[in-house]
């Protein structure tokens, strides 16, 4: 694949980053992705600070025992109540790469930058991309409407977001949302991205810590199996299971944010993704789930991505 | 640009099709696009059968007077009450290429195919793409959520729709939705498309029959200026002007399809696009409006597209 500023920024062979995903991207997934020459992220979204520390230490132990010297990172959602403790944990553990999402990077960027930590923020509009750049971020992830899990309010798609963000910024852009396949990596590069962040495809791997039932649901999903819901609260893309359909129905009758909050209740993500409760849980996945037809090892996924990319490059010449 | 089955199917130099757009794509826009080596379409969506006949005849007269021998086509929305008359008009006038949208192609395909007319249907999901292929269509337009004007119910984006449709079909796929720029043509090709359909960028040209005020609004639009509304009725992507914001508010409070129909009233498209009533009209445009920064001639737009495509090809090698 093309070498870009993203390869240099993280010192990685392939400009592919695995997204931080709740109940999915622990030390095992992140280390496997990094081992393959991409950048793995431990997703702190579903971790208390102590658990995050444990995952960082386990990853480092595994790397040490296997004489692996690859970079890895941590994803921290800035919307968390205990965000300061999560940041302190990452800093204490001397994590060198941090991806932040779901919040204002300006408030926290200094804590990372003054320690020389590489900082990337996830955005979903040009306005927020410019704010991230102004805050001192080294790159942004431009995440489109098709992405799984939490998402922006403006519903801008990867196809439209990436070129507009690339035009507006000096720092490099990582495309995210809808990418499960090497053709799409090539397309993202054509749009001006210098790297890609991939979630759903890496969730359906042997190394992901999510439940087998959830992974199987990704495989079953078709092009039209997901929907963006909870738009009055905190938009999230879910597989349209019983719970998601209940939300859609409530939204259609004009449910208030309070009613939606009540309907959401607690720990839906854990129930769906980790426990595999396919009816009652939140099954966070992207529209790219329609492109995922098997559960396989991270290594096999990365090999597929490379081959699909090369095939797309060949076809474009045609 | 890469030569594909779409070039051959229509006998065009560039695999670019101008979308049929209400109050925008009359004979003047369509002929200008075809003159530049792309495929221009007369959009029958806002025309009575007699007006369609007039536009076809005017285009032919212009071509004859200027010794132009280029193909052109007509777009017919199958949802129209007078669809049979529109089809009869196109057939009587010996139009050789027809694009159909917004309906079931199976019911009408035979009327075109038995006369050797090249038929393309616009779809927004894999299921409908397969139906179009089974109906005997020669190609499909796979139109993503980001597209302006009327849109599918499943909200599948160009980035996710195109590769899934390309994988599912034997016939060639034309990508649509969000494309205003040559980088995006390259990206669409990487995703498996063999051509692109472009609406909004061609609406902001000197030759489009829409009002100056509407064209100016396309230029003003940013990445987050449009929204898909009327989802309970007939989803349509609009610039978020006063009318669109009223619809969004009504939808948020759970308005019924009947209430939305009442709110929509009559001739909103004409008022917005043709008459330039920027507050009360429907301003149909795609998310790609954020990428359009000037009103220029079709020829200049096509030259831009070629140059941007070539630049993207060069960058991909890098």
CATH of the domain at B150: 3.20.20.70
Q: Say whether residue A184 is in contact with chain B using an 8 A CB cutoff.
A: yes
In the predicted structure, residue A318 carries a pLDDT above the cut 80? no
Which one of B224, B232, B252, B292 makes the best mutation probe of the A interface by having the most chain A beta carbons within 10 Å? B224
- A102 touches A76 (CB < 8 A): no
C-alpha to C-alpha distance for B211 and B2, rounded to whole angstroms: 34
Taking the CA of residue B258 and the nearest CA in chain A, the distance in Å comes to 13
Which residues from A are below 8 Å from B187, CB to CB? 159, 186-188, 190-191
Same structural domain for residues A181 and A238? no
Same structural domain for residues B190 and B97? yes
Q: Give the number of domains in chain B.
A: 2
Burial A167-194 (b: 16+ CB within 10 A, else e): ebbebbbbbbbbbbbbbbbbbbbbbbbb
Same structural domain for residues A196 and A218? no
Q: Say whether residue A253 is in contact with chain B using an 8 A CB cutoff.
A: yes
Burial (0-12, 13-18, 19+ Cβ within 10 Å), B232? middle
- The answer, as to whether pTM is greater than 0.80, is yes
Which one of A153, A159, A161, A287 makes the best mutation probe of the B interface by having the most chain B beta carbons within 10 Å? A159
Phi, psi of A269 (to 5 degrees): -65, -45
Residues 255-294 of A with CB under 8 A from B: 255, 286-288, 290-291
Q: At B168, which helix (H) or strand (E)? A: helix B158-168
Structural domain for A283, as ranges = 212-287
- A26 touches A55 (CB < 8 A): yes
- A39 touches A12 (CB < 8 A): yes
Same structural domain for residues A175 and A251? no
The answer to whether the CB atoms of B187 and A159 lie below 8 A apart is: yes
Look at residue B318 in the predicted model and tell me its pLDDT: 65
Same structural domain for residues A157 and A43? yes
Same structural domain for residues B219 and B196? no
Residues 142-161 of B with CB under 8 A from A: 144-146, 154-161
The answer to whether the CB atoms of A189 and B316 lie below 8 A apart is: yes
Same structural domain for residues B237 and B191? no
| Residue A167 is assigned to a structural domain of this protein | yes
Residues 47-76 of A with CB under 8 A from B: none
Look at residue B161 in the predicted model and tell me its pLDDT: 98
Look at residue A167 in the predicted model and tell me its pLDDT: 98
Mean pLDDT for A112-141 is 98
Mean pLDDT for A231-257 is 97
Percent of chain A with pLDDT over 70: 100
- Closest chain B residue by Cα to residue A178: B160
- B309 touches B182 (CB < 8 A): yes
| Residue A48 is assigned to a structural domain of this protein | yes
C-alpha to C-alpha distance for A316 and A313, rounded to whole angstroms: 5
The answer to whether the CB atoms of A163 and B145 lie below 8 A apart is: no
Which residues from B are below 8 Å from A179, CB to CB? 159
Burial (0-12, 13-18, 19+ Cβ within 10 Å), A240? middle
Look at residue B317 in the predicted model and tell me its pLDDT: 84
Nearest Cβ partner for B291 among A164, A184, A252: A164
- A229 touches A244 (CB < 8 A): yes
Look at residue A50 in the predicted model and tell me its pLDDT: 98
- Closest chain A residue by Cα to residue B287: A160
Look at residue B76 in the predicted model and tell me its pLDDT: 98
- Average pLDDT per block of 10 residues along chain B, 318 residues long: 96 98 98 98 98 98 98 97 97 98 93 97 98 98 98 97 98 98 98 98 98 98 98 97 98 97 96 98 98 98 98 88
Look at residue B35 in the predicted model and tell me its pLDDT: 98
Q: What is the mean pLDDT of chain A?
A: 97
Same structural domain for residues A25 and A100? yes
Q: What is the CB neighbour count within 10 angstroms for residue A120?
A: 31
Same structural domain for residues B50 and B140? yes
| Residue A311 is assigned to a structural domain of this protein | no
| Residue A1 is assigned to a structural domain of this protein | no
| Residue A50 is assigned to a structural domain of this protein | yes
Taking the CA of residue B184 and the nearest CA in chain A, the distance in Å comes to 6
- Interface size between A and B, measured as CB pairs under 8 A: 153
Same structural domain for residues A165 and A257? no
| Residue A7 is assigned to a structural domain of this protein | no
Which residues from A are below 8 Å from B222, CB to CB? 126
Nearest Cβ partner for A190 among B158, B186, B291: B186
Same structural domain for residues A200 and A280? no
Same structural domain for residues A33 and A175? yes
Tens of pLDDT, residue by residue over A115-124, are 999 999 999 9
Identify the band that residue A317 occupies on the pLDDT scale cut at 50, 70 and 90. confident
C-alpha to C-alpha distance for B133 and B142, rounded to whole angstroms: 12
Tens of pLDDT, residue by residue over A68-114, are 999 999 999 999 999 999 999 999 999 999 999 988 999 999 999 99
| Residue A278 is assigned to a structural domain of this protein | yes
Which residues from B are below 8 Å from A312, CB to CB? 190
């Amino acid at each position: 694949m093309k070498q870009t500023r993203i390869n240099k920024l993280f010192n990685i062979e392939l400009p592919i980053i695995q997204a931080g995903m709740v109940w999915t991207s622990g030390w095992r997934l992140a280390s496997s992705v990094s081992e393959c020459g991409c950048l793995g992220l431990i997703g702190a979204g579903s971790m208390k600070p102590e658990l995050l520390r444990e995952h960082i230490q386990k990853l480092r132990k595994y790397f040490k025992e296997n004489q692996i010297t690859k970079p890895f990172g941590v994803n921290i959602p800035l919307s968390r109540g205990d965000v300061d403790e999560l940041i302190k944990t990452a800093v204490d553990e001397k994590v060198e790469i941090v991806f932040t999402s779901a919040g204002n990077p300006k408030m926290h960027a200094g804590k990372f930058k003054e320690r020389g930590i590489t900082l990337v923020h996830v955005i979903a509009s040009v306005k927020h991309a410019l704010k991230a750049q102004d805050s001192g971020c080294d790159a942004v992830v431009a995440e489109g409407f098709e992405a799984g899990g939490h998402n922006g309010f403006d519903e801008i798609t990867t196809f439209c977001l990436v070129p507009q963000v690339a035009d507006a910024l000096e720092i490099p852009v990582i495309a995210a949302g809808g990418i499960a396949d090497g053709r799409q990596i090539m397309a993202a590069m054509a749009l001006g991205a210098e790297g890609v962040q991939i979630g759903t495809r890496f969730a359906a791997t042997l190394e992901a810590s999510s439940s087998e039932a959830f992974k199987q649901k990704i495989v079953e999903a078709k092009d039209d199996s997901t929907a963006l819901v909870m738009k009055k609260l905190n938009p999230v893309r879910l597989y349209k299971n019983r719970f998601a359909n209940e939300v859609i129905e409530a939204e259609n009758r004009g449910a208030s944010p309070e009613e939606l909050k009540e309907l959401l209740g607690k720990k839906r993500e854990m129930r769906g993704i980790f426990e595999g409760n396919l009816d009652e849980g939140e099954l966070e996945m992207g529209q790219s789930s329609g492109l995922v037809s098997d559960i396989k090892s991270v290594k096999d996924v990365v090999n597929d991505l490379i081959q699909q990319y090369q095939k797309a490059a060949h076809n474009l010449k045609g």
